[in-house]
Amino acid sequence: MEEKKKCDTSEDCPSCGQSGTCSEDEKQAHQERKLKENLSHIEHRIMVMSGKGGVGKSTVAANLAVSFARKGYEVGILDADVHGPNIPKMLGLGNEKMIGTPQGILPIPFYPNLKVVSMAFLLPNSDAPVVWRGPLKHGVFQQFLGEVEWGDLDYLIVDLPPGTGDEPLSIAHLIGQVDGSVIVTTPQEVALLDSRKAVVFSRMVHVPVVGIVENMSGFKCPHCGNEIDLFKIGGGEKAAIELQVPFLGRIPIDPEIVQNCDQGKPFVTANPDSPAAKAFSEITDRVEEFVNHRGKTGEKPLSSQKEEKPGRFSRLKEMLK
């Protein structure tokens, strides 16, 4: 009887010629080893969350990632909103498609030091919906974290969908040790009710809260220069005080943010001197200070061109059918 060859840990199961001889338990163990190996090369892991939709969470996540990259860090951004993946559109990558090699899925570069992974890169067109339940989403997150060639990263920014359901639970479970969550809200009471739940959720899954960002906070009239409180001001800061978490800052409403997102241009690079861009910069500095402080106090997570081959996306494509 021919002896079974030793599993090649550098390849994923669909690309391996021996996968047909492996049990499901062996395949699962292989995926977990790849996940652990990938995560060991990522120093800081940040989840960007919101209690409800429409508060500008993806805008904050995209500009946070770009700001870190502009500081010289190696950065990855994982768009974990399976049903509404918007990060590629915001970064002008809407027409890109990920490809795979036997060693891993290749992320899409925005900068040489900023890599992007999103479900949008796998869909046949921008109108195609993803109709999945929780277990399928957990499986794709395991692939995005464990089988993507992220390389050595200083920061992985995970843009989560709104709420406290399957996706944040899966990400927190798969990553294991998350440096912290950034909670995005708008100042009005309806948004604050749900953002408070996101803070409590983070504590329940043992993820430190980096702080609360108050987005869409005030608007300066372009004609008279007076401030207009369209969604109030100060609600996010008040919630941060009551919940005893840091307040990271306010981002004012700027019509250029909408224009830049639609054009695929990060706001912080298109309008670097605007008050909103300066607010993003200050928020980035505070997130950086938070994770560096945790590292100094010993609380940081433990870090304990290739030939293409068919079958790289077999599981993902099968799930998309």
pLDDT tens for 133-179 read: 888 999 999 999 999 999 999 999 999 999 999 999 999 999 999 99
Distance CA 248, CA 235 (A): 13
pLDDT for residue 301: 38
Q: Is residue 26 part of a domain?
A: no
Q: Is residue 223 part of a domain?
A: yes
Domain, as residue range, for 253: 40-301
What is the pLDDT averaged over residues 269-293?
A: 96
Which sign, positive or negative, has the C-alpha torsion 267, 271, 275, 280? Answer: positive
Q: Is residue 30 part of a domain?
A: no
Which CATH number goes with the domain that contains 79? 3.40.50.300
pLDDT in tens, 62-71: 999 999 999 9
pTM of the model as a whole: 0.85
Distance CA 239, CA 209 (A): 13
Q: Is residue 77 part of a domain?
A: yes
Q: Could you say which DSSP state residue 206 is in? A: T
Number of domains in the chain: 1
Distance CA 148, CA 142 (A): 10
Say whether pLDDT at 34 is over 70: yes
Q: For residue 7, give both structure tokens.
A: 């599993």
Residues 100 and 308: beta-carbon distance below 8 Å: yes
Of 256, 240, 257, the closest CA to residue 248 belongs to: 240
The dihedrals phi and psi of 124, each to the nearest 5 degrees, come to -65, -30
Residues 148 and 117: beta-carbon distance below 8 Å: yes
